[in-house]
């Protein structure tokens, strides 16, 4: 040993353990306003987009699959079910839909909480069954159907580079930013509770070199806690007795660049979810010239890819359950409010194209010929 100093370090990079769905939900969605708003923005925007059911180019106005989606179960409509499924994918990377019914009918659709589902792999590592646990009750659901009918459970997941069975949540990629943002909020709250200033130390320097007695120490501590702690007494001058001197110990908010650290963490969280910070009121983002551009990018780069991925899988699955192959569930792009400016520009360009016939113009904007 060559000196009297030693160093304590925290876990190194990569030592962060994977958090459970419940832990991420509590510290993220339920405990962080940026995560809460990002998830709500994506889920509500995606679930509000009208759906279109087609088969071989024919669009259905009325179909048993559409009827079931309008009212998936006795407690939800289609928008609330999709909002729940999207929330599960954003917070867990996985979402599960179960269909109940018999004899080829689809009586109801339910979203299963991802933390209650366990994937059971076969010898090759692929999903063989799913276990759904609520309390002490456990149900086992086959991952593959019996040949005549597919599985009654559909697993929706986001890409995970290190797992064959589970998806990777955007919130997991933003854990470091989430911790920083939460810590900054806690630090700010503690700062307000402690006279709205960083802490320091009272140094006792008597002329005779003696120390404070136990009674003097306890009295001084009680006076500080009762008279100088809390936002209500922020700024009150401190009266010190002989031999006491105040020494500030912590860094000031300016030194810590407190607000910029919070905004940087908030931007990282929004980036992980694919929400332009401008839409969430986070300063410092100059990627888009205006709110309209940011909103259009939000729909094109985040909302539409997610809802199209979901509807494609759900439509094919419900079609197989109903015994009708070839069903395609998609979205009505004309009804997406966030893309209205794009549609108006397209219609204006097509209407001015004199070299196109009326039927060609209808096809160019997504409508069939005639009508």
Structure confidence by residue, pLDDT tens digits, 113-154: 999 999 998 888 888 899 999 989 999 998 887 666 788 999
Q: What is the pLDDT of residues 238-280, one digit of tens each?
A: 555 656 666 665 656 565 567 778 888 999 999 999 999 988 8
Give the pLDDT of residue 241.
Answer: 60
Q: What mean pLDDT do residues 328-334 have?
A: 86
Give me 180's structure tokens.
């920083």
Compute the distance between CA of residue 54 and CA of residue 328 in angstroms, rounded to an integer.
5
Within this chain, do residues 68 and 121 fall inside the same structural domain, yes or no? Answer: yes
pLDDT at 333: 80
- Does 126 lie in the same domain as 162? yes
The answer, yes or no, to whether residue 159 has pLDDT greater than 60, is: yes
pLDDT band at 15 (very low <50, low <70, confident <90, very high): very low
Residue 3 in domain: no
46 and 122 together in one domain: yes
168 shares its domain with 45: yes
Nearest C-alpha neighbor of 75 from the set 110, 46, 115: 110
Q: Do 95 and 156 contact (CB within 8 A), yes or no?
A: yes
Which two three-digit tokens encode residue 148? 């005549």
Q: What is the pLDDT of residue 14?
A: 42
Specify whether 276 is located in the same domain as 355.
Answer: no
pTM for the model: 0.76
Strand-strand pairing, 137-142 and 153-157: unpaired
pLDDT tens readout for residues 39-73? 999 999 999 999 999 888 788 888 989 999 999 99
- Domain span at residue 48 reads 38-173+268-335
């Amino acid at each position: 040993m060559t000196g009297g100093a030693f160093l304590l370090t925290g876990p190194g990079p990569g030592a962060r353990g994977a958090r459970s769905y419940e832990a991420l939900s509590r510290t993220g969605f339920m405990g962080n306003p940026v995560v809460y708003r990002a998830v709500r923005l994506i889920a509500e925007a995606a679930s509000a987009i009208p759906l279109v059911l087609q088969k071989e180019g024919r669009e259905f106005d009325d179909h048993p699959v559409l009827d079931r989606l309008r009212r998936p179960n006795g407690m939800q409509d289609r928008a609330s079910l999709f909002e729940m499924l999207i929330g599960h994918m954003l917070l867990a990377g996985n979402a599960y839909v179960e269909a109940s019914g018999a004899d080829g009918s689809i009586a109801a659709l339910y979203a299963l909480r991802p933390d209650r589902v366990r994937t059971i792999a076969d010898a090759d590592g692929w999903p063989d069954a799913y276990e759904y646990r609520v309390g002490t009750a456990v149900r086992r659901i086959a991952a593959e159907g019996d040949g005549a009918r597919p599985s009654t459970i559909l697993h929706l997941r986001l890409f995970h580079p290190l797992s064959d069975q589970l998806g990777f949540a955007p919130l997991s990629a933003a854990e470091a930013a989430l911790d920083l943002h939460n810590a900054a909020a806690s630090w700010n709250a503690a700062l307000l509770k402690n006279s709205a200033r960083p802490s320091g130390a009272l140094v006792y320097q008597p002329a005779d070199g003696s120390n404070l007695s136990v009674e003097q120490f306890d009295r001084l501590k009680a006076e500080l806690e009762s008279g100088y702690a809390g936002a209500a007494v922020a700024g009150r001058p401190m009266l010190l007795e002989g031999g006491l001197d105040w020494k500030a110990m912590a860094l000031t908010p300016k030194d810590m660049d407190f607000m910029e650290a919070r905004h940087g963490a908030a931007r990282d969280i929004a980036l992980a979810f694919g929400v332009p910070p401008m839409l969430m009121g986070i300063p410092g983002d100059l990627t888009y010239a205006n709110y309209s551009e940011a909103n259009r990018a939000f729909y094109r780069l985040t909302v539409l890819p997610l809802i199209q991925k979901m509807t494609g899988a759900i439509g094919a699955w419900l079609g197989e359950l109903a015994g009708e192959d070839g069903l395609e569930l998609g979205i009505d792009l004309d009804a997406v409010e966030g893309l209205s400016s794009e549609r108006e520009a397209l219609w204006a360009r097509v209407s001015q194209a004199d070299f196109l016939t009326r039927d060609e113009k209808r096809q160019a904007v997504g409508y069939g010929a005639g009508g």
